[in-house]
A and B are shown apart, each in its own frame.
Chain A
Amino acid sequence: MTAEPMTMPALSAPFPGAVPEPVDETPPANPGRPREEQGQEETFESFAHGLLEATRAESWVHEARRLGTGLGLAALFGGALGLRVGGVAIGSHALGVAAGLTAVAAVASPAFAIVLALVNAPISGFTLARATSGAVARAGLILGGLAPAAALYVVTVEDAITVSVVGFASLALAGAIGVSSFATDLRTPLAAASRDTRRWMTVAMPAFVLFAAVLALRVWWLALPVLTGAR
């Protein structure tokens, strides 16, 4: 049971003859929000909030932590896929799923940085790194969340095709969410770019997304034999 709040604004009408309750006269810090919500807003931060929200200050350590956490959560999903075979496959599939995201972050993203410089886009290396770590964190969080459901399916279904569909659908969903996050994070700085740069970006961004998708798919195809029927 939670404690009764100090003030009870208009939740229940007082009965006749009732002594009015003392009212807290101190002005609220944020008049647009109910008083009881404000304290929670200031003090509370969930794990997901800390992972997904970028800090205002430039902190490479924070971004590296987000990247590492995202990869770790993605590895949980890989481990769940490996449960179909068991043993070493749990570890190898965990590494395999993380490898797909790592390939995009370590290969595709730096290549995209060169393209951004070529078209003179006003995006710093840190902004790109932050967008990349945010995308990996979101994709990893989704994959980590889906890991128990994936484990349920890979362990209990009889046919291999269901495992492939569930596995690739989950990876595709996480990839789409990651790409969406990446594009959203870069949209604001790109809005300040020149018209020529923006025109180039209408080609460069879809090309990057396509390249990243094919790269991740190729890595997962090679590293996740449970999904491709090789096992």
Chain B
Amino acid sequence: MKSFEGSVFDVTLMSRILRAPADVAADCRDDRDASAMARNALIAIVVGSLLFGAAVGSWHGGAQTFFAAGKLPIVMLATLVVCAPAFYAVSAVFHRPWSARSVLSLMLVSGARFSLVLLAATPPLWLLINLGASYDLSKLAASFAYGLAGLAALTLLVRGLGDGPGKRSMIALMMAIFLLVGAQTSWMLRPYLGTPGVQHVVLFTREREGGLVYQLWKSVEHVVDPARPGDRP
């Protein structure tokens, strides 16, 4: 399948990433058309996460919308950059000594699939927020969308690994690394939604807030029992 001549963005490739992840993964592994694939994947990553970030930031509105829109693509790209050497090393140790180009293109198209799912989740999230969803519900909805996108990206990555020894160990290891790095990167660049009860908007917060897992758990508690006393203003 070919893209439109002269077009900057290959919609056909995006369709293949969503519909035929195994084929795309095989192309990455065999280093076929890697530069075009990487360029299109980068565009998808930036656009998808930017729009999703804008929807998340719309909970607070104003400058927060632009801050969150700007930060989400940075989180995505930083996670990929930090995880790339680990993916290269892990795949080599588990009997898949691919070239760095193959590993990078596989990661980028996985990231593109992740962002395309985020893009699909953007309208429902925006509508939920527009209908007046609480801070905690909005946070959980955004996390749920992130989880779905992660599963979609993982599917492509798993297909890309092909058959061979150590596949399950490698998947578990890569999931752990992606989760740890992604969580820490996004935690570093918080806030995205804004802070409840605080009118002014900050680009970054340096409050001691106990970590990402702790904050998600607090949100579950608040959604289940809104009357529960919290530790936020």
Contacts and interface: CB of A to CB of B under 8 A. Distances in A.
B164 to A, nearest CB: 14
Interface string B26-39: 00001111011000
Interface in A122-141: 138, 141
Nearest to A76: B85
Nearest to A2: B33
A149 B99 CA distance: 21
Interface string B66-96: 0000000000000001110111111111000
A153 B86 contact: no
A117 B178 CA distance: 45
A37 B26 CA distance: 12
A177 B93 CA distance: 8
Given A46-B97, A48-B92, A149-B177, A37 B30 contact: yes
Interface string A139-158: 00110111111001100111
B216 interface: no
Interface string A156-193: 11100000001000000100010001000000000000
A149 B89 CA distance: 13
B220 interface: no
Interface string A192-211: 00000000000000000000
A48 B97 contact: yes
Nearest to A153: B184
Contacts of B90: 142, 145
Interface string B201-217: 00000001000000000
A15 to B, nearest CB: 16
A141 B100 contact: no
B151 interface: no
A46 B184 contact: no
Contacts of B195: none
B188 interface: yes
B177 A46 contact: no
Nearest to A159: B211
A149 B82 contact: yes
Nearest to A12: B1
A148 B32 contact: no
A29 interface: no
Contact of B83 (A2, A142, A149, A153): A149
A135 B147 CA distance: 36
Contacts of A146: 85-86, 89, 177
Contacts of B184: 152-153, 156-157
A161 to B, nearest CB: 11
B93 A149 contact: no
Nearest to A139: B93
B97 A52 contact: yes
Interface in B36-62: 36
A157 B210 CA distance: 10
Interface in B82-120: 82-83, 85-93, 97-100
Contact of B181 (A49, A53, A152, A158): A152
A156 B188 CA distance: 7
B92 A1 contact: no
Nearest to A181: B93
B68 to A, nearest CB: 19
Contact of A46 (B93, B98, B181): B98
Contacts of A149: 82-83, 86, 177, 180-181
Contacts of A49: 92, 97
Given A46-B98, A142-B93, A148-B82, A40 B181 contact: no
Contacts of B30: 36-37, 40
Contacts of A157: 184
22 contacts: A2-B32, A37-B30, A40-B30, A48-B88, A48-B91, A48-B97, A52-B92, A52-B97, A142-B93, A145-B86, A145-B88, A146-B89, A147-B85, A148-B82, A148-B85, A149-B83, A149-B86, A149-B177, A152-B181, A157-B184, A158-B208, A177-B93
**5 tightest Cβ-Cβ pairs between the two chains A and B:** A145-B89, A48-B92, A49-B97, A48-B97, A145-B86
